[in-house]
């Protein structure tokens, strides 16, 4: 440590700043830029090397590894948690202590403002203070804390994607977001999503939310699930069928708990919630409200089967809460996957009910994916169609492909469809 160094003094605690800590280990510290209470550009963070060293060339091997990994992890967090489309990194030189400025660029930023300093000058750049800044730091902190599993969490109140169809990915999963057309009246996005996935692609846990009146109910559900992350991941790692049985029990207990229900009474609005979990050759879901889980496979489409759950328009979590009922109303189910390629898709009503798109018919949604080159292309085509039809409501999609090597169940008289069988 160098007593005359501002950054050293900060880490020694001899001076205090208003910046928010996001991540810290033995070698590096990541904090949000401090503007002394004035609005800060959201997601603008700085990475400090803890030991006093002036340049990149002065780091030892362990420090260099930790510093590089920290840059990659916070950049990934900004992209997947905050929706950044590009990350700038520049070494600071105002203080002779190694530090790196990390600045995200968000969708919609005009090209004349592309650059690590230029993005800060755009008049519509996302600046914030207080609770807004705190929520950004909390999301980044939660993302940085993930180890073997990766998390993608987002609520439309943080970045609405109005007039901006967006694709992002977490491992093999594609997330598509569109906040609606402003010319049609879109001015906010109250959708949300949460995605966890095994790095070996051996399981996926996806949540999609469609709130109304405010995004607070979507924010609450995401925060509660993240708080329960450790216990839920323990459940997910159980072998089938125990993982499905225990997961349903834990989620129902969470939503029924008096603590959670009390929090619901303190917020504005309510949300539809659809949760899907795939492991081995099975997919389980819990559906509250009107979001849809599609399952596309050639053998199922032959029977005109495209979606798993039924939309229900009077079920919610939030201020009005199905779990306050004497008998909570929601649906759950488990399906065996067919052998070969299956596409799973979760969608909010901004896609399903988009005017003149035909997507209220699940077969039309299937046809988009049947013509697409891959899952990413399919999600992009759906969002582009919503945009082209001037959809006002927010559309959020989560999709991925499963390749099952196990034979699915068959009738005792073989594979011939029922209507073609000879009695």
For the stretch 46-76, pLDDT in tens is: 999 999 999 999 999 989 989 998 999 899 8
pLDDT at residue 7 is higher than 90: no
pLDDT digits (tens, 9 = 90+) for 248-289: 999 999 999 999 999 999 999 999 999 999 999 999 999 999
State how beta strands 150-155 and 340-347 pair: unpaired
pLDDT at residue 191 is higher than 90: yes
- The DSSP bridge partners found for residue 29 are 24, 48
Burial class (CB in 10 A: 0-12, 13-18, 19+), 262: exposed
Nearest CA among 143, 252, 165, 155 for reference residue 207 = 155
Secondary structure letter of residue 379 according to DSSP: H
Residue 389 CB coordination number (10 Å): 16
**CATH of segment(s) 149-404:** 3.60.40.10
Secondary structure letter of residue 42 according to DSSP: T
- Max intra-chain CA distance, the chain: 91
pLDDT digits (tens, 9 = 90+) for 110-160: 999 999 999 999 999 999 998 899 989 988 887 776 543 444 788 998 888
pLDDT at 416 (0 to 100): 60
- Residue spans of the domains in the chain: they are 6-127, 149-404
Half-sphere exposure of 383 (CA within 13 A, CB side): 27
Residue 28 CB coordination number (10 Å): 23
- Which CATH superfamily groups domain 6-127? HIT-like (3.30.428.10)
Assign 293 to helix, strand or coil: strand
pLDDT digits (tens, 9 = 90+) for 199-249: 778 999 999 999 999 999 999 999 999 999 989 999 999 999 999 999 999
pLDDT at 169 (0 to 100): 79
* Mean pLDDT of the residues in the chain: 91
pLDDT at 34 (0 to 100): 81
pLDDT at residue 35 is higher than 50: yes
Half-sphere exposure of 2 (CA within 13 A, CB side): 14
Order of strands across the sheet that contains 99-105:
21-24, 28-32, 45-49, 99-105, 86-91
Burial class (CB in 10 A: 0-12, 13-18, 19+), 200: exposed
Nearest CA among 127, 96, 97, 104 for reference residue 29 = 97
What value, to the nearest 5°, has the Cα angle with vertex 77 and ends 317 and 12? 110
* Range 351-380 average pLDDT: 96
Alpha-carbon distance 334 to 347, whole Å?
Answer: 18
Alpha-carbon distance 378 to 366, whole Å?
Answer: 9
* Range 378-402 average pLDDT: 97
Angle of helix 216-227 versus helix 229-236 axis, rounded to 10: 60
Percent of the chain with pLDDT over 70: 94
Alpha-carbon distance 358 to 195, whole Å?
Answer: 28
pLDDT at 415 (0 to 100): 63
pLDDT at residue 25 is higher than 60: yes
Percent of the chain with pLDDT over 90: 75
pLDDT at 150 (0 to 100): 42
Is residue 83 within 8 Å of residue 161, measured between CB atoms?
yes
Alpha-carbon distance 82 to 162, whole Å?
Answer: 15
* Range 396-423 average pLDDT: 80
């Amino acid at each position: 440590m160098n007593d005359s160094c501002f950054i050293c003094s900060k880490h020694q605690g001899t001076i205090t700043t208003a910046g928010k800590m996001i991540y810290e280990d033995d070698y590096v510290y990541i904090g949000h830029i401090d503007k002394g209470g004035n609005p800060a550009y959201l997601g603008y963070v700085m990475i400090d090397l803890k030991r006093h060293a002036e340049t990149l060339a002065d780091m030892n091997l362990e420090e260099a590894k930790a510093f590089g990994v920290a840059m990659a992890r916070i950049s990934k967090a900004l992209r997947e948690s905050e929706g950044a489309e590009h990350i700038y990194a520049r070494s600071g030189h105002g203080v002779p202590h190694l530090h790196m400025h990390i600045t995200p660029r968000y969708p919609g930023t005009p090209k004349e403002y592309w650059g690590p300093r230029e993005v800060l000058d755009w008049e519509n750049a996302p600046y914030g203070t207080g609770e807004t800044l705190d929520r950004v730091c909390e999301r980044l902190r939660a993302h940085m804390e993930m180890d073997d599993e990766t998390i993608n969490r987002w609520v439309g109140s943080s970045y609405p994607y109005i007039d901006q169809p967006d694709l992002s990915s977490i491992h093999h999963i594609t997330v598509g977001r569109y906040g609606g057309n402003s010319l049609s009246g879109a001015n906010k996005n109250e959708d949300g999503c949460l995605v966890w996935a095994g790095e070996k692609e051996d399981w996926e846990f996806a949540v999609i939310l469609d709130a109304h009146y405010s995004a607070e109910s979507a924010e609450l559900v995401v925060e509660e699930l993240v708080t329960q992350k450790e216990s839920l991941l323990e459940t997910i790692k159980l072998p089938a069928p125990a993982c499905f049985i225990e997961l349903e029990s834990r989620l129902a207990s969470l939503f029924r708990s008096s603590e959670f229900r009390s929090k619901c009474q303190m917020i504005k609005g309510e949300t539809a919630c659809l949760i899907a979990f795939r492991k081995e050759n099975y997919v389980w879901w819990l559906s509250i409200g009107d979001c849809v889980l599609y399952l596309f496979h050639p053998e199922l489409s032959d029977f005109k089967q495209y979606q798993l759950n039924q939309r229900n328009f009077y079920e919610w979590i939030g201020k009005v809460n199905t779990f306050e009922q004497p008998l909570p109303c929601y649906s759950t189910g488990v399906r065996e996957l067919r052998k070969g390629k299956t596409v799973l898709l979760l969608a909010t009503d901004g896609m399903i009910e988009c005017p003149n798109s035909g997507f209220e018919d699940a077969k039309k949604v299937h046809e988009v994916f049947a013509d697409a080159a891959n899952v990413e292309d399919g999600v992009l085509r759906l969002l582009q169609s919503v945009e082209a039809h001037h959809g006002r409501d927010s559309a959020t999609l989560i999709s991925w492909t499963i390749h099952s090597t196990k034979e699915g169940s068959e009738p005792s008289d073989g594979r011939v469809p029922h209507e073609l069988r000879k009695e």
